[in-house]
Structures are given as C-alpha cells and as structure tokens.
Amino acid sequence: MVVMLPIGANIPSHWFKAASVEKAIIPMPSRTQEGLVYDVELDWATRELKCPCEGYKFRRECGHVKALVFASYKKKSKRKGMADTQLASYYKFTIEHLSTRRKAVYECLETYGPLSNRLIAEKEHKPVNCITGRTNELCKMGLADEVGTVYDPVTDRHVILWGLVS
C-alpha cells in the first residue's frame, strides 16, 4: 500500500525542512522515542509520501505518514471556516446514531477523559479486542483522536491515549 497525499491537502510551508520542484522533506516526530524525528519525503509529481522508518519499509505505511495526512486535512477543513455551531450540530447528530458499542466507548471517553484501549476495556468490562476497533472507528468518524502516548506499567509498553475531539 502506498500512502498518497490527498488532493487539496494543505501543508503549510513552514513545515518543510527542504523543498524543491520535485520533492519536499517534512520532519515528523516519533511517537515512541522522544527526540527522534523522521524526514518524510513528498514527491510532488505522484503525491506519494515515503518515510525512512522501519514500519514504512516493512508495511509501506506508518504512523508518521498517516499523521501528516491527517494534519494536512485537519488544517484544510478548519481554514474553510466550518463554524463551531455547525460542528456541534454534526457531532450531536452523529453521536445519536452511533452503534451501541461505539456509543459506550464514546461515553467512556466523555466521562473519564483520555484513556488507552486497555483502560477503556477495564471500565466497560469488555475484552480489549472489542474496544480497539471502536476507537479506530470513532477516530475515522472524526469524533475521537490520539491525544498522546503514555507508558502503561501493566502491559510494559507505550500506549496511545484516545480523547474526544472538541
């Protein structure tokens, strides 16, 4: 799978580390290793994004490239000026029509604030594999987003904290 920059995506010029007619280099920080920065390469002709990280070399996609695509889209939609009242109305409509499991995860994040998938699973008394899909779906719907990462002593790993989009 090759990750392409969407047409109409807005990448501010101050994000570029280097730019030419053919390519641009955009530094993206690592989520797991503090201080580590990957130089994501954008080919202007094909709009293909490439990252030097191991995940991209193995899967042809990575979190750095996905984060860049998400950030460029997010800026564009804000720039067009969707009013806060419109967003509130849209979220209310969407939340009312969520499936039971999605709504449970949404309400858990609403009640307790940012949580990892494991903590949501604990609060909802469900296995974690029932939660991960719902958080990803809420993220794709634009209702939830990654807030950051934190060390989880139970799993002995860095985990993503999910929070609601305001």
Instruction: Note the pLDDT of residue 75.
Output: 42
Instruction: Give the Cα separation of 166 and 91 in Å (integer).
Output: 10
Q: Is residue 8 part of a domain?
A: no
Name the amino acid, one letter, at 65: V
Domain with 100 in it: what CATH number?
Answer: 1.10.10.10
Q: Give the DSSP letter of residue 13.
A: G
Q: How many CB atoms lie within 10 A of CB 13?
A: 7
Average confidence (pLDDT) over 139-156: 88
Instruction: Note the pLDDT of residue 6.
Output: 66
| Res. 58: pLDDT tops 90 | no
Structural domains in the chain (count): 2
Residues 31 and 53 in one domain: yes
Q: Is residue 43 part of a domain?
A: yes
Residues 157 and 96 in one domain: yes
Residues 97 and 135 in one domain: yes
Question: Which carries the bigger pLDDT value, residue 150 or residue 72?
Answer: 150
Instruction: Note the pLDDT of residue 109.
Output: 93
Residues 121 and 98 in one domain: yes
Q: Is residue 6 part of a domain?
A: no
Q: Give the DSSP letter of residue 6.
A: P
Q: Which residues pair with 42 in a beta bridge?
A: 24, 49
Average confidence (pLDDT) over 4-23: 74
Residue where a domain stops, chosen among 79, 113, 129 = 79
Return the H-helix or E-strand segment holding 127.
none
Q: What range does the domain containing 21 cover?
A: 13-79
Average confidence (pLDDT) over 15-22: 80
Residues 120 and 50 in one domain: no
Instruction: Give the Cα separation of 64 and 55 in Å (integer).
Output: 10
Query: Using alpha carbons only, what angle is made at residue 157 by residues 162 and 32, rounded to the nearest 5 degrees?
Result: 70
Return the H-helix or E-strand segment holding 87.
helix 84-96
Q: How confident is the model at residue 165 (pLDDT cuts 50, 70, 90)?
A: confident
Residues 101 and 131 in one domain: yes
Q: Is residue 136 part of a domain?
A: yes
| Res. 1: pLDDT tops 60 | no
pTM of the model: 0.47
Q: Is 101 helix (H, G, I), strand (E, B) or coil?
A: helix
Q: How confident is the model at residue 21 (pLDDT cuts 50, 70, 90)?
A: confident
